[in-house]
Amino acid sequence: MASASERKPWDSSNLRKYCLNFEEIPRLPFDDPRVDELISSNPVIIEGSNLVKSATDKWNLEYIERHMGVTTNTVYLSRNHKFKYFDDKKIQSRTNPRGVEFSPPMRKVEMKVEEFMKKLREWKRGDERLYMQQSLTAAVGPNIVQDFVGFNWKWINAKQKTHCWGKLTSNLLYVSMEGNVTPCHYDEQENFFAQVYGYKRCILFSPDQFQCMYPYPVHHPHDRQSMVDLERPDHTRFPRFKDAKGVEAVIGPGDVLYIPIYWWHHIESLMRLGPTITINFWYKAGPTTIEYPLKDHQKVSIMRNIEKMLLEVLQDPREVGPLLRNMVLGRFD
């Protein structure tokens, strides 16, 4: 029988079940030279960086409640466990080629931290789930500001420099209920995803899996999100999804997961293991060097620009699909 210190804090009963199997994301000590070899083209979990040690040493829900400050925080509410992002600037009925109004799968409210924590404590089955996703700014309480200043900026600034990333655009604080899921999507920024409290399962797919992931059209409110429901994939509509090759890991306090720009990621707070706290560090991409053959994420960017240009000239998004179909079907096989 493993001792308490060796006993894993979680097991497969805390994980949701999916139809795919995943390889493991590599884990490396922060000072291992292979970390920099992997970064910018592969995800990696970096151990022992102390990136957010000033937080992992102290932060839990009680500390956040006491020190988050008096400003309101962005909280998403969902009727189920999925928190699927949508761009409300893209919600116009005409951009829905199936002609139905877009019904947002979750709603955004502004909430004081005390109210958020109270709702978490009193939550019962059937209630809307909650997920706080708040940008860390100087408006938070002084203790949190002090902890933020205490992050290992020397280490992460050196990473930003080594990999020629652009500027740090934001640090988001995520306080999630157990079992919450952020469905599969990609972002257009580099991401250091620092786990502070609790355990999250991260499933990632490379940009070269584009044809298996079926992203929504760029003009759709769910732009950058996969149309495939990982829990109940529609293999008729999305036949190539069964061939998707992904990697996964469960990260815990002190782990930093590097999520490369344009990499698909599905993130779930483990079930029945309590709330989780994460801080992410989003960086603008570095300068694009054009070398042939182009990288897969560069082709995703090209496809995005083609869709945007077509919408610009066609005006009606319902004409984008037919024009692309007419352009390629039977002509490039």
173 binds, among Zn ion, ligand QVW, none (CB under 5 to 8 A by kind): none
User: Where along the sequence are the contacts to Zn ion (CB under 5 A)?
Assistant: 187
Among residues 199 and 264, whose Cβ is nearest to Zn ion?
264
Q: How far apart are CA 93 and CA 280, in angstroms?
A: 33
Nearest distance from residue 257's CB to ligand QVW, in Å? Answer: 9
Nearest distance from residue 290's CB to ligand QVW, in Å? Answer: 26
User: Where along the sequence are the contacts to ligand QVW (CB under 6 A)?
Assistant: 133, 174, 182, 187, 191, 193, 265, 267, 278, 280
Among residues 221 and 317, whose Cβ is nearest to ligand QVW?
221
Helix/strand number for the chain, H first, E second: 9, 14
Nearest distance from residue 259's CB to ligand QVW, in Å? Answer: 6
Contact partners, residue 49, CB within 8 Å, separation at least 6? 30, 152, 155, 156, 254, 256
Among residues 58 and 82, whose Cβ is nearest to ligand QVW?
82
Nearest distance from residue 203's CB to ligand QVW, in Å? Answer: 11
174 binds, among ligand QVW, Zn ion, none (CB under 5 to 8 A by kind): ligand QVW
Element of type H or E holding 173: strand 168-176
219 binds, among Zn ion, ligand QVW, none (CB under 5 to 8 A by kind): none
Q: Long-range contacts: 83-87, Cβ < 8 Å, 24+?
A: 83/129, 83/131, 83/180, 83/181, 83/182, 83/183, 84/182, 84/183, 84/185, 84/222, 84/225, 85/182, 85/185, 85/222, 85/224, 85/225, 86/221, 86/222, 86/225, 87/221, 87/222, 87/223
Nearest distance from residue 87's CB to ligand QVW, in Å? Answer: 12
What end-to-end distance do the CA atoms of the chain give, in Å?
59
Among residues 64 and 310, whose Cβ is nearest to ligand QVW?
64
Among residues 59 and 174, whose Cβ is nearest to ligand QVW?
174
